[in-house]
């Protein structure tokens, strides 16, 4: 597995990944444009979940490239990339099961979001996450669930809207799993001490 970290630790690879995630973040916010247009300003930070997760990763990658760990953004990146990456895959598979078909964009979203989850985990050996970083990121993550499923600003589900309560329940436990994974990989990653070359 060491060769993987040697590959992902090249400055050119990190730079390419940074550019891809910047473009993905911009496209993600564009994807949410209709929902954002009718969302009160106070709730805007909590609606575009996936692009915000990518934005956290962009900041973490910038930190890696300049040789400065941004632990809070790294913790937010691990938790949110895994959570929303897996969430989107499951929701699109659920849509396929429920509707019997899936638009090509659904398959594109599954591939891109699965990649989000993977990259969130792969780069943890380059992070320096402390317990308080995870605590703050966890509060942000669980607060997001309240905004989504109590105040009603969750992503638009289309055909899955009738399962909103079940989706909210699933999302809460996915958040807990993501927080647990972030603690585990951060604790393990902090002992590896990898740097970009």
Residue 190's pLDDT band (boundaries 50, 70, 90)?
low
Decide if 195 is inside a domain. Answer: no
Residues 59/70, Cβ–Cβ less than 8 Å: yes
Decide if 16 is inside a domain. Answer: yes
Please give the average per-residue pLDDT across 12-37, as a whole number. 92
Q: Which of 181, 174, 183 is nearest to 86 (CA)?
A: 174
Please give the average per-residue pLDDT across 101-121, as a whole number. 90
Decide if 43 is inside a domain. Answer: yes
Residue 117 pLDDT more than 70?
A: yes
Total tally of structural domains belonging to the chain: 1
pLDDT over 90 percentage in the chain: 51
Which residues form the domain of 161?
2-189
Encode pLDDT of 53-63 as tens digits. 999 999 999 99
Decide if 196 is inside a domain. Answer: no
Decide if 194 is inside a domain. Answer: no
Decide if 197 is inside a domain. Answer: no
Please give the average per-residue pLDDT across 117-128, as a whole number. 88
- Quickly list DSSP for the chain: -HHHHHHHTSHHHHHHHHHHHHHHHHHHHHHTHHHHHTS-GGGGGGS-HHHHHHHHHHHHHHHHHTT---HHHHHHHHHHHHHHHHHHHHHHHHHHHHHS---HHHHHHHHHHHHHHHHHHHTGGG----HHHHHHHHHHHHHHHHHHHTSS-PPP-GGGGGGHHHHHHHHHHHHHHHHHHHHHHHHHHTTT-----
Query: What is the model's pLDDT at position 176?
Result: 96
Mean pLDDT of the chain: 88
Query: What is the model's pLDDT at position 82?
Result: 96
pTM above 0.85, yes or no: yes
Decide if 45 is inside a domain. Answer: yes
Encode pLDDT of 134-155 as tens digits. 999 999 999 999 998 888 888 7
Residue 69 burial (10 A CB sphere; 0-12, 13-18, 19+):
middle
pLDDT higher at 3 or 97 = 97
Query: What is the model's pLDDT at position 84?
Result: 95
């Amino acid at each position: 597995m060491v060769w993987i970290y040697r590959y992902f630790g090249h400055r050119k690879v990190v730079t390419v990944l940074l550019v891809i995630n910047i473009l993905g973040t911009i496209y993600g916010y564009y994807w949410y444009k209709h929902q954002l247009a009718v969302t009160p300003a106070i709730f805007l930070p909590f609606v575009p979940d996936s692009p915000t997760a990518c934005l956290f990763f962009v900041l973490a990658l910038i930190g890696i490239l300049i040789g400065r760990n941004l632990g809070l953004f790294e913790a937010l990146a691990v938790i949110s990339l895994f959570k929303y990456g897996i969430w989107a895959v499951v929701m699109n598979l659920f849509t396929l099961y429920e509707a019997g078909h899936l638009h090509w964009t659904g398959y594109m979203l599954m591939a891109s979001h699965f990649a989000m989850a993977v990259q969130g985990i792969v780069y943890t050996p380059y992070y320096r996450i402390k317990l308080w970083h995870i605590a703050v990121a966890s509060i942000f993550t669980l607060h997001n669930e309240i905004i989504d499923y109590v105040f009603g600003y969750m992503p638009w589900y289309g055909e899955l809207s009738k399962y909103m309560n079940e989706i909210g329940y699933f999302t809460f436990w996915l958040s807990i799993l993501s927080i647990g994974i972030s603690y585990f990989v951060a604790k393990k990653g902090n002992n590896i001490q990898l740097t970009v070359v």
